[in-house]
Amino acid sequence: DQQVKQNSPSLSVQEGRISILNCDYTNSMFDYFLWYKKYPAEGPTFLISISSIKDKNEDGRFTVFLNKSAKHLSLHIVPSQPGDSAVYFCAASPGTPGAGSYQLTFGKGTKLSVIP
Partner 1 sequence: SQTIHQWPATLVQPVGSPLSLECTVEGTSNPNLYWYRQAAGRGLQLLFYSVGIGQISSEVPQNLSASRPQDRQFILSSKKLLLSDSGFYLCAWRDRGHNGYTFGSGTRLTVV
Least distance (Å) between residue 25 CB and partner 1: 13
* Closer of 24 and 107 to partner 1 (Cβ): 107
* Contact in structure between 52 and 32 (CB atoms under 8 Å): yes
Least distance (Å) between residue 17 CB and partner 1: 26
* Closer of 20 and 48 to partner 1 (Cβ): 48
Least distance (Å) between residue 78 CB and partner 1: 22
- The residues of the shown chain that bind partner 1, judged by CB under 8 A, are 6, 32, 34, 36, 41-46, 49, 89, 91, 93, 97, 100-104, 106-109
* Closer of 4 and 13 to partner 1 (Cβ): 4
* Contact in structure between 33 and 4 (CB atoms under 8 Å): no
Cα–Cα dist 70/72, whole Å: 5
Reported in sequence order, the residue ranges of 68-109 that DSSP labels E, i.e. its strands, are 72-77, 86-93, 105-106
| Count of other CB atoms within 10 angstroms of residue 95 | 14
Least distance (Å) between residue 92 CB and partner 1: 11
End-to-end CA distance of the chain: 38
* Closer of 18 and 46 to partner 1 (Cβ): 46
